[in-house]
Structure 1
Amino acid sequence: MGSKYQKSLRISLPFWALILEIALILVFFFFTSYETPSKKLKLLKTYPAFQDINVMAVLGLGFLNASLRRYTWSGVAFNLFTLALGVQWAIILDGFQFSFFSRKIPINIQRIILGTMSAMSVLISSGAILGKVNLVQMIVMTLLEVTVFRGAMMLTLNFLDGKEYESMMQIHVFGAYFGVAVAWCLSGPELNAAKEKERRATTSSLFTTLGTLFLWIFWPTFNSALLDQPSEKETAVYNTYYALAASSVAAMSLSAATHSDGKISMTHVHRATLAGGVAVGVATNLIYSPWIAMVLGLLAGMISIIGAKCLPECLNRTIGLHDTCEVHSTFGLPALLGGLTYIMLEIEQASWASFSGVGFQVLVLASPLSLFMAMGLVGGVLTGVILRLNLWKAPPAAKYFDDQAFWEFPHLAVGF
């Protein structure tokens, strides 16, 4: 018996993906070269950080997106596809932005780390639209989102006097609100027809737990990789670990407290456990005592749980937003908390002669957070409008949250 699903990607996916990859190869051929051998000694110090960040992107976020019981293959594999494409595009954009007058863009380990971290913005956003788009739409979203994110970084560095590390740590708030905006554009009443397939199962929940563990273990590297001073790197590692520990305690405790029978929700553990690492990111080198990081992690875990309990139904009912993996509660709200904490710590460490001086400094410090959030929302809405075009052959609601729409199964009737 043949599959009930149409051959939706047989022509469109190979055409768009291969044409794009050929174009990327040509750009790398004409405009890039490896860095001179004398500078490659830095690789020995930086490569372990690249390994950790790669594990976070491929395994951590990949398995985190394998939460749906009928969408595990697509959750993991589409994550890898998006990362592979996004890294190449991010490296090109980074090279043209910051090496525009060079004859060749130098390729080094630092540029690949920046490209990987930039591409992770798409991996964060994709959780909000998980199961509702095909790979062709993911190609379009990857190109647009990485472009907008790199543009926001360039504006911050050139016009807001920002630092590369602090700008990159805004990836959580940008990725979350970009994904939420795209999800809002793609949401509709037809989602009710696919509600049954959106449920979690024991196997898929175990995959998601594995992704959470990978992210939990390697998050201190992510928060410290772009810092230059060894003392700042050490402080960032310590603070991230303390914050993650506190958010883990909050996730377990508050999840049980909010359940009518006092039971722990594994979905809460998947999400709120990581909230501390998100919240502490942008301010982690400024936190001067472990208790601050622990309080921040505790608050982030609590906010993530409360957001996951209250916001999905409220947002779905009021504005019709469907956030598949609760990206807003996992990344968006903790990132906003971290941004506010960064502003407070900067104000505390500065001395100002008048109240007006403090007010001006608050506006300056809040500018990068506001810029990334605004560009995430605007870019997400525009991307969502583009993804709704019939050109991309979007899957109908009957194919939502289902691996069979995209993958070959030896026995289609078994297990489905």
Structure 2
Amino acid sequence: MPAHYRSFRGSLPWLILLLQALLLLLFYFFVPEGAGPALSPGSAAFQDVSHMLLFGFGFSFLFLRRFGFSSIGLNLLLLVLGVQSSVLAEQALPVPLQRQRLDGLQRITKAVVSMTAVVISTGAVLGKANPVQLILMTVVEVLAFHGSRWLTQVFLQLPDSIPMRHVHLFGACFGLALSSRFSEPAPSSEKSRRTPRAELLSMLGTLFLWLFWPSFNLLLDEEGRSRTISNTYFALAASTVAAFVLSALTTKDGKFQMSHIQSAVLAGGVAVGSAAPRIESPWIAMILGLLASLLTSLGAYCLQRCLNPALKIHDTSGVHFTFGWPAVLGGLAQVVLLVVQNWDNLPSLGALVMIHVGAFCLTISVASIIGFITGSILNLRVFRTTPVSKYFEDQCYWEFPHLAVGF
């Protein structure tokens, strides 16, 4: 007999319709027609980042054997709603610095880059949060990320490119704090286990992310220097080599494990995102990639077995060691390179370092606090509609022509 699932007909369609109608109304009043050229050099990079969010993250979340429809479909829904919300937030926040008039491509490019934080956070609660919770989470996190950028510009007087480079860190901290308010699934749950076919599809998404990551870091660099691309590629290459080595060293029989590879091959691209414009030689980027892969591999091997049970936090996709720890390493590398390159200007070096460290800590604080509050609100009875026994189930939200058994 098929299981009975709660109907979302009375809440989900109306929430989506209401949100889209509100966005349409706000666009009419507050988003002017963009000025600028019809096609700019950044259009190719924008397409690459769009592929990352749609195909890369969408497929990389397919490792759950019975949550494939939701991983792909809900990712698309959150992306289109989040980009619209991000464009509005970008237009509404008052920036004390002189605002440059952005054309349509520039506006949507910043919005898509900002949505990376939301997609990363989604990985922490993948299979546990229902669509209503995910939509509300998206809107809140978009506003929180833009608020964090605004605070950095107002109080620390830093350009917008600095907090934009912390997008991975923000997404990981927000997602981890959000996940702490969700109930843990049963440790022996069969639905959360990986299968070879699911891991193969998930690795396909990781390959998309790996391929397009240099374009992502290029969009974070306002000057668009070519060394940002080369530094990102060499960091990714070094982290990939280290991922295979560490995977073989940490498994019982010395064989490669796909989950280890997926977690660590992107670590170099994440870590170099904050420091890429300041890295003058490729070997520095390669060392950073090796260290990031080592940090991620140790995190995947140790943190899930030691730290997570102690803190009672279940991170479905491991975003804290896949994106969080490499982002922390990248932030530290940025400060070290800042000290080395400004050593001759000692009187102002201390203040400069403190400002960058302050921006780093501000990102972590805003993401963690807002994420914890958001998770607490979303787990009120009015929003919490999926019991723990129905975690990682596509049939809660999608119609199947057959029963869940065997798919």
Instruction: Normalising by structure 1, report the TM-score.
Output: 0.93
Offset at residue 98 of structure 1 (A): 5.0
Offset at residue 413 of structure 1 (A): 4.6
**1:34·1:106 contact (CA, 8 Å) conserved in 2?**
no
Matching residue within 237, 242, 258 for 2:234: 242
In 1: Cα distance, 2:367 partner to 2:10 partner: 31
Matching residue within 116, 122, 131 for 1:135: 131
Offset at residue 305 of structure 1 (A): 0.4
Residues 236-277 of structure 1, C-alpha deviation per residue, up to 9 Å, x if partnerless? 000000000000001111011011110111011111000000
In 2: Cα distance, 1:405 partner to 1:194 partner: 20
1:84-95 aligned at under 5 Å gives the runs: 84-95=80-91
Structure 2: where are the runs of 5+ without partners? none
Equivalent residue letter for 1:303: L
Equivalent residue letter for 1:373: I
**2:116·2:168 contact (CA, 8 Å) conserved in 1?**
no
In 2: Cα distance, 1:246 partner to 1:316 partner: 28
1:8 aligned residue: 7
State the SS of the aligned residue for 1:73.
Answer: helix
1:219 aligned residue: 213
Equivalent residue letter for 2:88: I
1:24-63 aligned at under 5 Å gives the runs: 24-36=23-35, 39-41=36-38, 43-63=39-59
Matching residue within 250, 271, 275 for 1:279: 271
Q: Is 1:75 matched up with 2:71? A: yes
CA 1:216–1:106: 2 relative to 1, 3 Å: closer
**2:183·2:388 contact (CA, 8 Å) conserved in 1?**
no
CA 1:351–1:314: 2 relative to 1, 3 Å: same
State the SS of the aligned residue for 1:192.
Answer: coil
**2:5·2:395 contact (CA, 8 Å) conserved in 1?**
no
Report % sequence identity: 43
**1:32·1:106 contact (CA, 8 Å) conserved in 2?**
no
In 2: Cα distance, 1:134 partner to 1:175 partner: 19
In 2: Cα distance, 1:314 partner to 1:248 partner: 25
In 2: Cα distance, 1:407 partner to 1:293 partner: 44
Q: Is 1:210 matched up with 2:204? A: yes
State the SS of the aligned residue for 1:261.
Answer: coil
Residues 276-331 of structure 1, C-alpha deviation per residue, up to 9 Å, x if partnerless? 00000011010000000000001101110000010012223211010111101100
Deviates more, 1:191-200 or 1:378-387: 191-200
Instruction: Normalising by structure 2, report the TM-score.
Output: 0.95
In 1: Cα distance, 2:107 partner to 2:188 partner: 41
**1:122·1:175 contact (CA, 8 Å) conserved in 2?**
yes
Offset at residue 99 of structure 1 (A): 7.8
**1:176·1:331 contact (CA, 8 Å) conserved in 2?**
yes
CA 1:289–1:195: 2 relative to 1, 3 Å: same
**1:137·1:394 contact (CA, 8 Å) conserved in 2?**
no
1:181 aligned residue: 177
1:119 aligned residue: 115
**1:272·1:330 contact (CA, 8 Å) conserved in 2?**
yes
Deviates more, 1:117-126 or 1:191-200: 191-200
Provide the aligned length of Structure 1 versus Structure 2: 405
In 2: Cα distance, 1:414 partner to 1:316 partner: 30
In 2: Cα distance, 1:19 partner to 1:171 partner: 28
Residues 209-243 of structure 1, C-alpha deviation per residue, up to 9 Å, x if partnerless? 1111110010000001243435x2x0100000000
CA 1:360–1:98: 2 relative to 1, 3 Å: closer
Structure 1: where are the runs of 5+ without partners? none
1:229-268 aligned at under 5 Å gives the runs: 229-230=223-224, 232=225, 234-268=226-260
State the SS of the aligned residue for 1:335.
Answer: helix
Q: Is 1:334 matched up with 2:330? A: no
**1:246·1:297 contact (CA, 8 Å) conserved in 2?**
yes
Matching residue within 388, 399, 407 for 1:408: 399
State the SS of the aligned residue for 2:297.
Answer: helix
Residues 32-89 of structure 1, C-alpha deviation per residue, up to 9 Å, x if partnerless? 23224xx224x24221111001001111111111111111111111111111111000
Equivalent residue letter for 2:203: T
Matching residue within 361, 379, 383 for 1:388: 379
